[in-house]
Structure 1
């Protein structure tokens, strides 16, 4: 039952992250494809892997902090870890229609 709960919590985290808008592109970081992975371990330990549109993006720290704060506020999350990666590099093809 814990696996289903973890998957539901990961879905709730993804939904909550829709409220974060990229300051440069004016779209949700979910719609832009900037969130690569959301995983939740037993005990409400959330791991989010994300990227930015370019390496050295001036909004990188702002976005990473916004994601961390957002995840912490999702009911059921006891710990949030946000990792920034550039592998694979983001491309406009990752954006939702």
Structure 2
């Protein structure tokens, strides 16, 4: 598994504590770049601009990604352009939310 795939695996294991779905399937990841030098850049959003756990989610991502062998630096940037909408939820995410009783 290459470094990009390892980072994606981590993103599928990070959850928004308010929604029982990982941030990748929620559609919160707008961009992921992994350089040959081990620099990781993640551009993401949150479900709402006033999300109280945004900093905690970003810190969890940084802590977990920097622990990967070969990663030299991690930068997580949060943007609200464009704003997140439920349309960004993946099909797998929709199925998981339905299983939890969420109407999506």
Settle same-fold status: TM greater than 0.5: yes
Does 2:13 correspond to 1:19? yes
Moved over 4 A (4+): none
Does 2:65 correspond to 1:65? no
> Number of paired residues?
91
- Three-state SS of the structure 1 residue aligned to 2:15 is coil
Q: Give structure 1 stretches of 5+ with no counterpart.
A: 1-7
Q: Displacement of 1:88 after TM fit?
A: 1.1
Q: 2:45: which partner in 1?
A: 51
| Residues 16 and 74, structure 1, Cα contact 8 Å, conserved in 2 | no
CA distance, structure 1, for counterparts of residue 82 and residue 68 of structure 2: 27
CA distance, structure 1, for counterparts of residue 36 and residue 44 of structure 2: 21
TM-score when normalising by structure 2:
0.81
Q: Give structure 2 stretches of 5+ with no counterpart.
A: 92-104
TM-score when normalising by structure 1:
0.86
Q: Displacement of 1:42 after TM fit?
A: 2.6
Q: Displacement of 1:70 after TM fit?
A: 1.7
CA distance, structure 1, for counterparts of residue 57 and residue 75 of structure 2: 13
Q: Displacement of 1:39 after TM fit?
A: 0.2
Aligned CA-pair RMSD = 1.4
